[in-house]
Structure 1
Amino acid sequence: MRLAVLGGGGFRVPLVYGALLRDRAKPRVQEVVLYDVSAQRLETIGHVLRQLAAGHDDPPVVRTTTDLDTALREADFVFSAIRVGGLAGRTADERVALELGLLGQETTGPGGIAYGLRTIPVALHVAERVAALAPRAWVINFTNPAGMITEAMRRVLGDRVIGICDSPIGLIRRAAAALGLDPARVSPDYVGLNHLGWLRGLVHQGRDVLPGLLADDAALVKVEEARIFGPEWVRTLGALPNEYLYYYYFTREAVAAISGPTRGESLLGQQDAFYAAVRARPDEALAEWLSARRQRDATYMAEARDATDAGERDAADLEAGGYEGIALALMAAIARGEPATMILNVRNGSAVPGLPEDAVVEIPCAVGGAGVRPFATRPLPGRFLGLLQQVKAVEQTAIEAALTGSSDLAVAAFALHPLVDSVTTARKLLDGYRARIPELATVFPS
């Protein structure tokens, strides 16, 4: 099989290639084509992948290209992890909001809207080229904001584009481990949107064990999300929230905690140093990447942990892996017809009552050779459903704004978001993002 990786010069591409190296079942990916707009970044990641492959029998062949059509032609699977505007754009996503006293975060709130507004036209172009050159390919989308981008790409690709995220499986893994259970032997009741969901139940041997976890202080403290939100609040909710809900439930604390460099600014410095180091010492590419990865993982969502004294991330949790394992499992289930249950970003239909049929939601799904089938979910209480409805309306407004180039709709997307407190501020957000992010100014010139 041939896998095209869009954003192939990105820092996390070695995680995907490492997962492919460990996969020995048939059929397997035998060729990986990395596409990126930067030949220099492709060269750097190429050094890392060659050193990762050393000592492996029959590793997937790696090719690189800066031509999108070349990458997509004859692909069986397309993994999309592009960042329109690069990390410089991300730093602007964060800083423009913070300067207005709002949350500055990559996918949540104003920053996520700005990211989506400039990414949607590019993602639609990718979808159109996939439809023309590899119409039978499955697209696995990890481009953020994943739910919004997946929903936009569905207009061209329909069910053949599937969004993934590692946050839900990480939450489920931690909850199961806190109870001493094998995560592979529990069934989660998880429902929401990308970066906005709740684990409402965890069934083991026919019994929901989540209430027992919520009532057990000693077990609950082992779950990072419970430490971040506090045991009293998760018990009040009756559910374990996705870690990104910290930005909704503790907005003031989240904004106050970002007192120094933002996450984007820190990553920009880390990654610039990594790429420069590999250019200077290509023989040490893998060692440089491993060092930079440890630093990156250790500081993930650091502002939430620092503000709540949640402590450092668990070493075993870091080693368990993330989105690369989900991408590989999804490809394996489809290509080999091996039934699996996964939490994915897919079309709602009637799975989540109260949300539009065409909305992309993040819920458990059955996956196999025929594709993906979402499971129906229990109705949500108003305290959860209302937030989902509001944020989904923002996402769908942002999609229409990006497709039409309407500045009025872009302002509406900002203004409708629960983390933006006035229409006047929404207008300032759009003006600020246009001034600092050329890719967004191209979509909304005036």
Structure 2
Amino acid sequence: MAGALPDGDPVPTDGSLPSGAAANAGKNGFAVYVHVPFCASRCGYCDFNTYTASELGGVGREGYADTVLRELEIAKQAINPKKVDTVFVGGGTPTLLSADDLGRILDGIDKTWGLDEKAEITTEANPESVTPEYLRRLRANGFTRISLGMQSSSPHVLKILDRQHTAGRAPQAAREAREAGFEHVNLDLIYGTPGETADDFAASLRAVVEAGADHVSAYALIVEDGTRMAARMRRGELPYPEDDVAADRYLAAEQALTEAGFAWYEVSNWATSEAARCRHNLLYWTGADWWGLGPGAHSHVGGVRWWNVKHPTTYAKRLADGVSPGHAREILDDEDRRVEDIMLRVRLSDGIPLAGLDERGAKQALDDGLLVPEAYAKGQLILNLPGRLLADAVIRDVV
């Protein structure tokens, strides 16, 4: 389970927002995130706000969709965006809920704010949690995109990560999703796991390409305090990840995916076309508004950011009592928003205008060979491949 939530200002019991924020909701796009906090088992590296049955003390998945719909009733009174551009259901393992329950939540969002006719509707899924029939039901309920947690095609790497699916299940699930009519299919990879070899990761990349996915997310393993993997490393049972190895894996991903027809559009994300890019995440990265439904979910509307209470039992009780599940919130000032905008946009292939960035820092990044010179000459900061490896350092320099 994730750590304690940060403190902040109180959230009004009716969930209302300052008038300026509410009036401009969705001006630059509007997304809805739905958090489903249930997992069949816990992966050793995971510190997300998720719970297995034994950790919930009798709280079940039944009725969860109704609880989320109650939060939507509060949200409807708070803001009225013109339309919903994207919906992303994450977790946890959303596909532990029935496809029809996920469909009911989606229908509730449509009735509350109205889905754009071309809305992107994504759910995450563990490969072992879906079947061809389940995928067909998801598609019939309006989902257009699925993101499958593959992580690796190597059995021994999956074992270290405490994943439950077999090595070939994720690519097979991707093919089944295509057959069910999903427009876009993403496969998630994790690289740098202790014991993973260069050949292991190369095999994972080949499996992704052969599965027919049109989007790949690849992230270096991060060992979070409080996880089982962190404890194993402290005891010396596993070695800590190495930065040089992670860099080598990233370069391997870039080469293999580019050769297969993918192109990077965010440091950790590749797509086969502009249409295959994750529009939901792009809204996050380009300063749009979103409402997060579910325990522990974060939201942002018009410079107001808030986060819900973390535990599903507390979340459900708040809503049963007719009050907002918001734990706390903060109002971002102009400088906060400027810095966050830079931190996110620098990671995109479109980059960010040089105007407003620290001039010396940007010039240093150029001199260090971390930027595209032609873009810099035209007033745009865009990372080249070495710059992507050092994106965090570039961001620190230009803020």
- Into which bin does the TM-score normalised by the smaller protein fall? under 0.3
Q: Per residue, is there more strand in 1 or in 2? A: 2
The normalised TM-score by structure 1 is 0.25
The normalised TM-score by structure 2 is 0.27
Q: Per residue, is there more helix in 1 or in 2? A: 1
